[in-house]
Amino acid sequence: MTRAISKQLMQWVVWLGALVPIIAGFSSATLTTAGKAPLVPALFIFGDSLADPGNNNHLISLAKSNHPPYGRQFDTHMATGRFTNGRTAVDFLAEELGLPLVPPFLDSSTKGQKLLQGVNYASAGSGILNSTGMFFGEIITTWKQLEYFRDSTQPEIYKLLGKKAGEDFFRKSIFYLISGSNDFVNGYYFLIPTTPHGISIQDLMQLLISTVSSQLKVLYDLGVRKVGVAGLAPLGCCPSQITKYNLTAGNCVEFLNDVSEKYNDALKNMLLQLREELEDFHLVYSNLYDPLMEAINNPAMYGFNFTHAACCGVGKLNGKFICIPYSRPCDDPQHHIFFDYYHPTSRMYDLIFRKVYFNGPPFSIPYSGQFLVNLTI
Ligand SMILES: *[C@@H]1O[C@H](CO)[C@@H](O)[C@H](O)[C@H]1NC(C)=O
Ligand SMILES: *[C@@H]1O[C@H](CO)[C@@H](O)[C@H](O)[C@H]1NC(C)=O
Ligand SMILES: *[C@@H]1O[C@H](CO)[C@@H](O)[C@H](O)[C@H]1NC(C)=O
**Banded model confidence at residue 192, pLDDT cuts 50, 70, 90:** low
Q: What is the pLDDT of residues 20-36, one digit of tens each?
A: 333 333 333 344 455 67
Return the residue whose CA atom lies nearest to atom 14 of ligand 1: 130
From the CB of 245, is ligand 2 less than 6 Å away?
yes
Residue pair 154/99 in contact (Cβ under 8 Å)? The answer is: no
Q: Quick check: 1 pLDDT over 60?
A: no
58, 282, 308, 343: the catalytic one is 343
**Banded model confidence at residue 359, pLDDT cuts 50, 70, 90:** very high
CA of 6 to the centre of ligand 3 (A): 63
From the CB of 335, is ligand 3 less than 6 Å away?
yes
Q: What is the pLDDT of residues 226-256, one digit of tens each?
A: 999 999 999 999 999 999 999 987 899 999 9
Q: Is 49 a catalytic residue?
A: yes
Q: Is 340 a catalytic residue?
A: yes
Of residues 308, 333, 312, 337, the one with CA closest to residue 241: 308
- According to the model, what pLDDT value does residue 25 have? 35
- According to the model, what pLDDT value does residue 35 have? 61
What distance in Å separates the CA atoms of residue 206 and residue 138, rounded to the nearest whole number?
26
Q: Is 16 exposed, middle or buried (0-12, 13-18, 19+ CB in 10 A)?
A: exposed
Q: What is the pLDDT of residues 86-140, one digit of tens each?
A: 999 999 999 999 999 999 999 999 999 999 999 999 999 999 999 998 889 999 9
What whole-number percentage of the chain has pLDDT above 90? 81
- According to the model, what pLDDT value does residue 196 have? 52
183, 290, 340, 350: the catalytic one is 340
Sign of the CA dihedral 197, 319, 235, 78? positive
Mutate to test the pocket of ligand 3, among 302, 305, 336, 345 (most ligand atoms within 8 A of CB): 305
Average pLDDT, the chain: 90
What distance in Å separates the CA atoms of residue 173 and residue 373, rounded to the nearest whole number?
8
Residue pair 191/59 in contact (Cβ under 8 Å)? The answer is: no
Q: What is the pLDDT of residues 142-181, one digit of tens each?
A: 999 999 999 999 999 999 999 999 999 999 999 999 999 9
- According to the model, what pLDDT value does residue 16 have? 37
Q: Quick check: 63 pLDDT over 90?
A: yes
- According to the model, what pLDDT value does residue 151 have? 98
Which ligand is closest to the CA of 210, given by its number? 1
The CA-atom distances, in angstroms, between 306 and each of 85, 264, 292, 332 are: 15, 26, 13, 10
Which ligand is closest to the CA of 301, given by its number? 3
Q: Quick check: 40 pLDDT over 70?
A: yes
- Please state which CATH number belongs to domain 37-374: 3.40.50.1110
**Banded model confidence at residue 315, pLDDT cuts 50, 70, 90:** confident
- According to the model, what pLDDT value does residue 240 have? 94
- According to the model, what pLDDT value does residue 197 have? 63
CA of 195 to the centre of ligand 2 (A): 18
| Average pLDDT over every residue of 189-217 | 83
- According to the model, what pLDDT value does residue 13 have? 37
